[in-house]
A and B are shown apart, each in its own frame.
Chain A
Amino acid sequence: MSYISHNGEDLGRILAAIGIEHADEVFSTVPPALLCGADLAVEGPKDEESLRRELDFRPSRVVFAGGGIYRHHIPAVVDALASRQEFVTAYTPYQPEISQGTLQAIFEYQSMMAGLTGMEVSNASMYDGATALAEAALMALRMKGIRRVAVTRATQPSFRSVLRTYLAHAEVDAIEEIPYDPVTGQTDLDALKKSAGPDTAFFIQNPNYFGVIEPMEQVARIVSGKAGFWGIAVTEALSLGILEAPGEYGPDVVLGEAQSFGNPACAGGPLLGFFCTRKEHVRRMPGRVVGLTEDREGSQAFCLTLSTREQHIRREKATSNICTNQGLCALRAAIYLSAMGPEGLKKTALQCAAGARFLIGLLKDRGIAPVFSAPVFHEFVIPMDEDRMEEFKSKGIVPGVPVAPQYPEIHGSVLVTVTEMNTQEEGRCLAANV
Chain B
Amino acid sequence: MKIQINHIGKMEGHSDFIAEILRGDVRSAKLMTTEGARLIEGILIGRRYIEAPIITARICGICPVVHKISSIKAIENAFAIKPSLQAVKLRKLLLSAQIIHSHALHLFFLSLPDFFDITNDLKFVKEHQKETHCAIAVREWALKIIKVIGGRAVHPIACEVGGFKVLPDKDELKNLVNQYENILRNALCLINLVIKIKLPKFRRPTTYMALSGKDEYGYYSGELKILNADGSIKIIKAENFTKNIKEIEEPYRAAKSAKLDGKPFMVGALARININHGQLNHLAKGILKGWKWKFPQCNPFYNIWAQAVEIVHFVEESKKLLDDLAKNLKEETSQGEKLKLISDANPRGRDTFGADAVEAPRGTLYHAYGINKDGLIKECQIITPTVSFLKNLEEDIAAYIPELSRLSDEKRSRKIRALIRAYDPCISCATH
On whether the two chains bind one another, the answer is: no
Where the two chains meet, the residues of A that have a C-beta atom closer than 8 Å to any C-beta of B are none
